[in-house]
Amino acid sequence: MIDARVAELLNQQVNKEFYSAYLYLDFSNYYYDLNLDGFGNWYRIQAQEERDHAMLFVQYLQNNGIRAKLEAIDKPAIELTGAKMVLDEGLKHEQYVTSLIHDIYDAAYSVKDFRTMQFLDWFVKEQGEEETNADNLVKKFALFGDDPKSLYMLDQELGARVYAAPSLVL
């Protein structure tokens, strides 16, 4: 039986992950519109990963006898005003999501819910990777973004990203 507060936070995270997917789909659309198709591809795959995260939370709740309550997903709240600022916002958003995962972990820890902590371990690691990836994009853009040839190469590199299903199976 999952503690009510932990269950509530897990349920809220379903919405947060779907919102992340929505936000990153908006990033993707923005880049395609700028003809930076590689960046568009990178964020389209990121959006797919966020949907996967949402579904993992739904599944975990379901595995514990809880029906996920689906709330409205907000429209993307960030006005996109440049290729660089999108990457900065991506990093900020991942740092925010990490803080949410840590909050759930904290709640699970406080009631000795070891099962939920173990489930969240995967997300703690995943967030570390996602923050690193987002930070790398920011740094690469700072290095290469102003030079058209280098930006083209970076766009090609990001265009090569392919979707991989999450390693966590519930």
- Name the residues that contact ligand FEO, by CB under 6 A: 17, 20, 50, 53, 94, 97, 130
| H, E, C per residue of 116-128 | HHHHHHHHHHHHH
Task: Tell me whether residue 17 or residue 155 sits nearer to ligand FEO (CB atom).
Answer: 17
Task: Tell me whether residue 44 or residue 151 sits nearer to ligand FEO (CB atom).
Answer: 44
Residues 6+ apart with CB under 8 A from 61: 2, 7, 10, 11, 14, 67, 68
User: Which of 17, 11, 15, 7 shows the shortest CA–CA distance to 126?
Assistant: 17
Residue 167 Cβ vs ligand FEO, minimum distance, rounded to whole Å: 14
Task: Tell me whether residue 8 or residue 131 sits nearer to ligand FEO (CB atom).
Answer: 131
φ/ψ (deg, to 5) at 109: -60, -40
Task: Tell me whether residue 26 or residue 94 sits nearer to ligand FEO (CB atom).
Answer: 94
* Closest residue to ligand FEO in the complex (CB): 53
Residue 9 Cβ vs ligand FEO, minimum distance, rounded to whole Å: 14
Name the 3-class secondary structure at 12: helix
